[in-house]
Amino acid sequence: MKTAHHSLILSLAICLVYVWLKLPFLSPYSLQLFAVVVLLYFVIKKIHKATIKQLLPAQASIEMAVITVAFLLLIGATGNIRSVLFALSFVHLFLLALKTDLVTACIITIEIVLFHFALTPQASLAELSFLASLPVVMVFFLFAKQQYFKAFAQQQQLASQQAQLAQSQLIDQKLERFMHGLLEEKLAKLHRLSFFPIQNQRQMQAEMEEIAAITDELITQTQVEKQQLADAVGADVDTITIDSTYELFASGDGETNTTHQTDALSPEETQPDQSTPNEAQQSDQSELPNQPEQPASNHDTIAS
């Protein structure tokens, strides 16, 4: 519901309660109307199939207007400012701050103060201080709400970045395993060819060019994957690295970080890799498309 519409509905609810309490032939039935309003609130919750944990009004909904009518009827019918139930006004303000936006909460708080003052215009100084406390408490509630949602957003961002860190570490580990297996085989081959460098000069040059091409392609692919991870959390590529992210979360709770990181990994991914370099190369090559074909073995070309 839009802010203007919600503010208008709540204002009409306050005016309705004021008129009801001011009319002599309706005010004696205020507690009966309060019971009807409370019953109506639970009927609305039943229609929306709310659970016990969802008894509070929904955000910016008609339910807040029903709750407002109930609170004002109960307090106004039992003595208004002089009522022993006037402390329920602070509960009402808490729900108002929690379930409405800033503008609506401020407007309705002022209207509630005017509502109570209009019902008891000859209030004493002590009673007027009770009314003056309502806006002060509302400001405190709104500040606490803002701080809570800010901390919650930071916690969600932290959890998201930790998940992205775990994925980035997997990419680095995959690249490390593949390069280790590839370079081990290629260097061994270049070592054999180096015994007769003149005869095998062209093939040695081809092997080195192939290593350079594969390395460039792997680095490019890794940068693209990390850029996609960075875009997912609105960060730069440089922040999705092991060192910088560790510095970012170093002041946090280590146990919490470990929990998030373990949740981000599947059981198979969290197990240590026990494969040999050649096995790691064969498994990773299937995940890296468009790799250049490796030249055939040159055992027959090596001079005896």
Tokens 């109930």 found at: 70
Per-residue pLDDT at 287: 42
Contact (CB, 8 A) for 157 and 233: yes
Per-residue pLDDT at 34: 94
Q: Is 55 buried (19+), middle (13-18) or exposed (0-12) by CB count in 10 A? A: exposed
What's the sign of the alpha-carbon dihedral 258, 259, 260, 264? positive
- Residue by residue, what is the 3-state secondary structure of 38-81? HHHHHHHHHHCCCCHHHCCCCCCCHHHHHHHHHHHHHHHHCCHH
Tens place of pLDDT per residue across the chain (304 aa): 788 888 899 999 999 999 999 998 998 999 999 999 999 999 998 888 888 778 888 888 889 999 999 999 999 999 888 889 999 999 999 999 999 999 999 999 999 999 999 988 887 888 888 899 999 999 999 999 999 888 988 888 888 878 877 877 777 777 777 777 777 777 777 777 777 777 777 777 787 787 778 777 777 877 777 777 667 655 443 443 333 333 333 333 444 344 444 443 343 443 434 444 344 444 444 443 444 344 443 334 333 2
Token reading at 292: 């250049």
Q: Is 197 buried (19+), middle (13-18) or exposed (0-12) by CB count in 10 A? A: exposed
Per-residue pLDDT at 280: 40
Query: What is the C-alpha to C-alpha distance for residues 274 and 30, in angstroms, rounded to an integer?
Result: 76
Per-residue pLDDT at 233: 57
Query: What is the C-alpha to C-alpha distance for residues 231 and 259, in angstroms, rounded to an integer?
Result: 24
Query: What is the C-alpha to C-alpha distance for residues 84 and 78, in angstroms, rounded to an integer?
Result: 8
